[in-house]
Amino acid sequence: MIFARESDILGNEFEAMKDEKAARLADVLGGAERVVVLTGAGISAESGVPTFRGPEGLWRQYRAETLATPEAFERDPALVWQWYDWRRGLISRVEPNAGHRVLAEWENMFQSFAVITQNVDGLHRKAGSRNVLELHGDIWMTRCTREKTVRQNLESPLQKIPPVCPDCGALLRPHIVWFGESLDPELLDRAFRLCGTSQVMLVVGTSSVVQPAATLPFAAAEAGAVIIEINPERTPLTPHADLFMQGKAGEILPLLDRALKAKGPGEGGGPRREKPSEKG
Ligand code: BJW
């Protein structure tokens, strides 16, 4: 009994601490006009899409380097497509969660609001976000390996693996950025510009290890933005974040949303980046 009560108290204290942090974050956010969010696989975890590097990570079963490289595709396109076909099937059956929905709603609450995502699952757009930069591509798009034509392909499961171009018969590949490949330079440039002009940057559900996405929060911080990280685990970014909200995106973002709405409209002057009062 004593243990149960003690853990209750600890639980309540933890919740109170979270609420207090959420209120502080709402102050920061409420005063901002330009907000940018960087998301990773963690934001889709509560929708049922496995992350890459967590305990449930895809690459526990399938080695990343076996599947997500141009060399792997050259060696065995059917294997790589089987992996994507499986993921497309899984993604087609899931829905955006509360985290995606809050971010979609926030697009209407700030003068400038953008989501930069490393995810290829399309769940931000499905939740209603319109200003989304998909840095690593889109799992529903294919690219002809000969003509480079990019097309939407919603077929799931795929009739033919590996699929071929309807125009020229060459092999199609997923329109996704694999290891060792460059990101779309225009898109990346836009992402860096957004980070360089934002007052607040939220970094949600990413392990912050894959470049160049992992550099974006540093660019934002350099330009004076307040960096808020949301993740159940600490990451290489955590020591550099101004505020770290430890927890799941689908819980923390609605908590922040409630705190923001309880606070009412902000003055919009923009938060100032004091040298991190709290880290981690
Ligand atoms: C929750 C949660 C919940 C759980 N709520 N959170 C040496 C140094 C620097 C760079 C390099 C280097 N060697 C090579 C490179 C470059 C390489 C790189 O960064 N490698 C590192 C791994 C070292 N990068 C590239 O190759 C990029 N291209 C490039 O840089 O070109 C120039 C160049 C080339 C070569 C050498 C040098 C320069 C391209 C990167 C493309 C990444 N593509 C992938 C695969 C796409 C396949 C697909 O999706 O189908 O994109 S990799 C994979 O990682 C995927 C993801 O978008 C990306 C990021 O992962 P993410 O989103 O962070 O997921 P996880 O699983 O890692 O983390 C999930 C997080 O969520 C965890 O923190 C959890 O705690 C958390 N979480 N539940 C909130 N409920």
Residues 91 and 139: beta-carbon distance below 8 Å: yes
Percent of the chain surpassing pLDDT 70: 84
| CA 57 to ligand 1: nearest atom | 66
247's CB contacts (< 8 A; 6+ apart) are 18, 230, 232
Q: Are 201 and 38 in contact (CB under 8 A)?
A: yes
Lowest mean pLDDT segment, chosen from 72-76, 109-113, 210-214, 261-265? 261-265
Peptide bond into 166 cis (omega under 30): no
Q: In the predicted model, is pLDDT for residue 278 greater than 60?
A: no
List, edge to edge, every strand of the sheet that includes 132-134. 132-134, 112-117, 34-39, 200-204, 226-231, 243-246
Per-residue pLDDT, 112? 97
Distance 53 CA to ligand 1 centre (A): 9
- Is 175 part of the annotated catalytic residue set? no
Give dist(CA 54, CA 52) in Å, integer.
6
Which residue would you say has higher pLDDT here, 243 or 52? 243
Site to substitute for ligand 1 among 211, 228, 251, 255, most atoms within 8 A of C-beta: 211
Q: Say how far apart CA 43 and CA 157 lie, in whole Å.
A: 25
Cis ω before 212 (30° cut-off from 0): yes
**pLDDT for the residue numbered 65:** 61
Domains and CATH numbers, the chain: 23-48+96-136+183-280 (3.40.50.1220), 50-93+138-176 (3.30.1600.10)
- What whole-number distance in Å separates Cα of residue 42 and Cα of residue 243? 18
137-144, strands of its sheet edge to edge: 150-152, 137-144, 172-176
User: In Å, what is the CA distance from 143 to each residue of 83, 118, 250?
Assistant: 17, 19, 33
CA 31 – ligand 1 centroid, Å? 32
118 pocket-lining for ligand 1 (C-beta < 6 Å): yes
Query: How confident is the model at residue 53, as a pLDDT?
Result: 81
Establish whether residue 80 lines the binding site of ligand 1, counting it when its CB lies within 6 angstroms of any ligand atom.
no
**pLDDT surpasses 70 at 117:** yes
d(CA 89, CA 161) in angstroms, rounded, equals 14
Q: How does pLDDT run across 54-84, given as a tens digit for each residue?
A: 666 655 466 666 788 999 999 999 999 999 9
Q: Tell which atom from ligand 1 comes closest to the C-alpha of 84.
A: 50
**Where does 119-207 have alpha helices with state H?**
123-127, 185-197
- What is the chain's mean pLDDT, rounded? 88
Count, in order, helices (H) and strands (E) of the chain.
11, 9
C-beta of 209 in contact with ligand 1 (< 6 A): yes
Is the beta carbon of 51 within 6 A of some atom in ligand 1? yes
**Mean pLDDT value of segment 147-172:** 97
Q: What is the pLDDT of residues 179-235, one digit of tens each?
A: 999 999 999 999 999 999 999 999 999 999 999 999 999 999 999 999 999 999 999
Q: Which residue among 100, 124, 136, 175 is the active-site one?
A: 136
If you ran DSSP here, which 8-state letter would residue 69 be given?
A: S
Q: Hey, is 196 helix, strand or coil?
A: helix
Measure the CA–CA gap between 35 and 195, rounded to whole angstroms: 9
pLDDT at 231: 97
CB of residue 58 inside a 6 A radius of ligand 1: no
pLDDT over 70 (residue 276): no
DSSP assignments along 24-55, one per residue? HHHHHHHT-SEEEEEE-THHHHTTT---SSST
Q: How far is the CA of 214 from the centre of ligand 1 (A)?
A: 8
